[in-house]
Structure 1
């Protein structure tokens, strides 16, 4: 009986490890183009592109505590703005979060006349 328990335990362990989902790096929130495929994010981009100081606006994706988040940023040299994170459903995260808390920052949208200098 003991000889049978170890193989069953090993199979269960392998099955549970193989079922963990890893997000494809090209995907965000289950879509390959979040600006086009997440309606709330598309609306955010449209609002930013038609608003004042649009040449300084951008949208970035990042990870916060392993979860995908988005934020609307500004590189306006004479402006101040607050970092507000949004989850995949467009809900804001209310914790006090700074850039040091984020991983894998990547700009995913900017206006055609954007003045921001992003480092690679």
Structure 2
């Protein structure tokens, strides 16, 4: 009987400890909207392109701060690709700033595909 109690307790603990993918990538308020991917048409178009692209398993979207302003960029963990950070402001305009990931504050992955191979 005691073993059954421990089994039930362990199952309960594991069910609370596991996070679904949706919880890991909750939409965050930015640019005056609650869900940037759904509510900013230009970002939704970028997301749709990344999610259906040939190398989608290496792609992700990041929201961060640069000098107090919200910015977004499309990242890649592709081991055989070269890529550069191209920042976009809330209106979808390219930000003229050669930033490194270290210069971006509060960077948060707001999307990555289910079959992602990227490790964060």
Q: TM-score range by the shorter chain?
A: 0.7 to 0.9
Count of aligned residue pairs for this structure pair = 93
Alpha-carbon distance in 1 for matches of 2:106, 2:75 = 15
Residue pairs, 1:3-42, within 5 angstroms: 26-42=28-44
Alignment correspondent of 2:65: 63
Partner of 1:95: 97
Deviations 1:83-104 (A, max 9, x none): 0000000000112211121100
How far, CA to CA, are the matches of 2:46 and 2:97 in structure 1? 21
The structure having more radius of gyration, on CA atoms, is 1
TM-score, normalisation: structure 2: 0.75
After the TM superposition, which segments of 4 or more aligned residues of structure 1 sit over 4 Å from their partners? none
Structure 1 unmatched runs, 5+:
1-25
1:48 aligned to 37, 42, 50, which one? 50
Alignment partners' CA distance in 2, 1:48 and 1:109: 10
Which position in structure 2 is the counterpart of 1:114? 116
2:19 is aligned to none
Unaligned runs of 5+ in 2: 1-27
